[in-house]
């Protein structure tokens, strides 16, 4: 359990933020069986190409923006085991969001497939929730915090009493029990993103997909939210795929870091993060192994930016951290 997650609350423009997660509620020996396996097989996505299947509900990028076809994802094959927390990094424009949208069933692949458990993903599956960077756009300003969290549960057909329980539990878990009746616009950015996380978690997903969820919050809040994600992940045992630009964030959060090449993207390296389950912002980030991983992933991303599509181990000063190393 991260120390920071249970540390004293911070003060934000929206008022004091209480403790994020009760440390006692997080069992370090948690069995990660609350999650489902994600299997990505030969995934390719060309915008403006001939897509297989229909345009999924909620897709904002199913087609090309016009002009020549854009090959965003060339060929990705990897597996995320049930209850694993995997981060995805890569150069800007590599195709990270495209990958996440394909995982979420918001975008049909041009070829290849995504499986949730044994079931091919052909549209947004019931067992998945997505948290995006733009919390401001994902929350309904005319609904209270509690109603925002409750809305997807109504759509899912969850009974009223259970809805109330889930809303209460998840708002408490993200440290927002006191602002259940406030409106999103009355909260700081970090608090709004907590609402978005609470909403996703209340849905009781097997897989949580997060696309640069903390890119728009300040550094201190970011650390708190990172600890919140790890604490919730450990408590719920769900599968998490977390896309980020931030190499340190990827290493701090992940059990593995998938490093993508530049567009059209392929997997440059699947880096195992051997930092153990208990992480905290000071100790973990100061550890020699963290420094080694940071150097390694940084070098990989630099190679990716220079056009590398396969690992060039000879150019690495760090030892490889991948499972095949």
Ligand X SMILES: Nc1ncnc2c1ncn2[C@@H]1O[C@H](COP(=O)(O)OP(=O)(O)OP(=O)(O)O)[C@@H](O)[C@H]1O
**Which residue, 94 or 179, has its beta carbon nearer to ligand X?**
94
Query: Minimum Å distance from CB 95 to ligand X?
Result: 4
Shorter beta-carbon distance to ligand X: residue 143 or 215: 215
Q: How far is the CB of 86 from ligand X (least distance, A)?
A: 16
Min dist. Cβ of residue 244 to ligand X (A): 9
Using the minimum distance from each CB to ligand X, give the nearer residue, 70 or 177.
70
CB of 87 to ligand X, least distance (A): 13
Distance, CA of 271 to CA of 259 (rounded, Å)? 7
Q: Is 261 helix (H, G, I), strand (E, B) or coil?
A: coil
Exposed/middle/buried for 248, CB within 10 Å: 0-12, 13-18, 19+? Answer: middle
Q: Write out the DSSP string of 41-64.
A: EEEEEEETS--SSPPPTT-S-SS-
| Residue 259 CB-density burial (10 A; 0-12 exposed, 13-18 middle, 19+ buried) | buried
- In the bound state with ligand X, the residue whose beta carbon lies nearer, of 70 and 272, is 70
Q: Is 281 helix (H, G, I), strand (E, B) or coil?
A: helix
Please state the φ and ψ torsions of residue 219, each to the nearest 5 degrees.
-60, -40
Which residues contribute to the site for ligand X (CB under 6 A)? 47, 61, 64-65, 70, 72, 90, 92-98, 245, 263
Cβ distance to ligand X smaller for residue 2 or 97: 97
Looking up tokens 């756009």 gives 137
- 92 or 317: whose CB is closer to ligand X? 92
Contacts with 56 (C-beta within 8 Å, 6 or more apart), sequence order: 62, 105, 106, 107, 108, 122, 123, 124
As a whole number of angstroms, the distance between CA 216 and CA 190 comes to 9
Min dist CB 32 to ligand X, Å, is 27
Residue among 84, 97, 98 nearest 39 (CA):
84
Cβ nearer to ligand X, comparing 36 with 262: 262
Shortest distance in whole angstroms from residue 275 CB to ligand X: 24
CB 253 to ligand X: min, Å: 17
């Amino acid at each position: 359990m991260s120390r920071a997650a249970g540390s004293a609350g911070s003060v934000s423009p929206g008022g004091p933020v209480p403790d994020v997660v009760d440390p006692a509620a997080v069992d370090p020996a948690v069995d990660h069986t609350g999650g489902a396996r994600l299997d990505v097989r030969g995934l390719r996505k060309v915008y403006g190409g001939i897509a297989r299947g229909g345009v999924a509900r909620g897709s904002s990028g199913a087609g090309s923006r016009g002009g020549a076809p854009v090959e965003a994802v060339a060929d990705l094959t990897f597996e995320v085991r049930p209850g694993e927390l995997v981060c995805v990094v890569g150069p800007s424009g590599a195709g990270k969001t495209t990958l996440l949208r394909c995982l979420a069933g918001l975008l049909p692949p041009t070829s290849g497939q995504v499986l949730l458990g044994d079931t091919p993903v052909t549209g947004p599956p019931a067992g998945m929730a997505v948290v995006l960077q733009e919390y401001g756009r994902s929350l309904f300003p005319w609904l209270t915090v509690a109603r925002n969290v409750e809305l997807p549960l109504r759509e899912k057909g969850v009974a009223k009493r259970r809805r109330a329980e889930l809303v209460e539990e998840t708002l408490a878990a993200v440290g927002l029990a006191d602002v259940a009746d406030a409106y999103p616009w009355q909260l700081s950015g970090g608090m709004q993103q907590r609402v978005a996380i609470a909403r996703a978690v209340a849905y009781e997903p097997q897989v949580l997909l997060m696309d640069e969820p903390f890119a728009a919050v300040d550094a201190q809040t970011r650390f708190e939210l990172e600890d919140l994600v790890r604490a919730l992940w450990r408590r719920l045992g769900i599968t998490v795929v977390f896309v980020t630009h931030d190499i340190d964030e990827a290493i701090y959060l992940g059990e593995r870091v998938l490093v993508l090449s530049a567009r059209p993207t392929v997997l440059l390296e699947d880096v195992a993060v051997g930092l153990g389950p208990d992480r905290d912002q000071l100790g973990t980030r100061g550890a020699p192994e963290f420094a080694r991983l940071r150097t390694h992933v940084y070098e990989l991303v630099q190679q990716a930016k220079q056009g590398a599509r396969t690992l060039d181990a000879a150019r690495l000063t760090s030892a490889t951290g991948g499972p095949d190393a």
